[in-house]
Amino acid sequence: MAIGSKYSRERRRRRGQFMLRAAKWLLIVGIFVGLGVWSYQSGLELARSEVTALERRIANLSADARDVYARNAALEGELRQARADMVALQRRYEQDVPRGDAAALFSLVQGRIAAGVPRARMEQVVRDAGPIRRCEGRGTVRRFAIAYGRVPEGAGIELQDGVVRVVVSAPAPTDDLARAASVAVTVAGGETLTLTGLPQRHPVVLGNVEFTLNVAASDVRGFAQASLSGC
């Protein structure tokens, strides 16, 4: 009986130890399983929060992209309008601002007005202007003295009732008037034009008529002759 009781106690002791070891391993396994489940849940929540943040960021970026697209569309419309305005402005500039010969004429008129010519007078001159009619008829030849050295006042000759004045001068008496002579032509209301050498053939415009001025050396020494073509 004593031996059987001892054997039973030993078996119960071993069984208790086994159960204790099994309980320890189950506890350890439970702890690891719990940690795994907790880690999984934590990772899942983190992933969900990151996905939510990414979705929110994508939504914000999409809204920004739509705003940028709308802004670009508005800017393209403004650019097209600006280009159209530029083309219209360029056309208006080309129509309103004179160029070439028109610009030179506009500058001349401005200069004459600045010099004191009344604007009404300039307008009248422009209105009266017409196609130039050229005169080729032979005019009356008139002889006059050549001024040597210093040109005295009143030298030369007046043609067309004083509208055209011609003065021929030379440094000293010489037969080489082709190179030494100086021909000064003054049209009333204009500047003096100086030509070098004889003979000279020069157009003179009076109003709407173009005359031809011919200046040459006379057969008489010390004299020149001039004629203005008639119509």
pTM of the model: 0.47
159-196 pLDDT, tens digit per residue, is 988 899 999 999 998 878 888 999 999 998 788 999 99
H or E element: which one contains 133? strand 133-134
- pLDDT tens digits, one per residue of 4-16: 566 677 777 777 7
Q: How far is the C-alpha of 98 from the C-alpha of 102, rounded, in Å?
A: 5
Q: How many CA atoms lie within 13 A of 119 on its CB side?
A: 2
Cβ atoms 214, 201 nearer than 8 A: yes
Residues with pLDDT less than 70, the chain: 1-7, 129-137, 231
Q: Which residues of 143-160 are buried (b: 16+ CB within 10 A; e: fewer)?
A: ebebbeeebeeebbbbbb
pLDDT of residue 91: 86
- Cα separations in angstroms, 135 against 161, 172, 186: 17, 35, 19
Cis amide leading into 199 (omega within 30): yes
Q: What is the reported pLDDT for 17?
A: 78
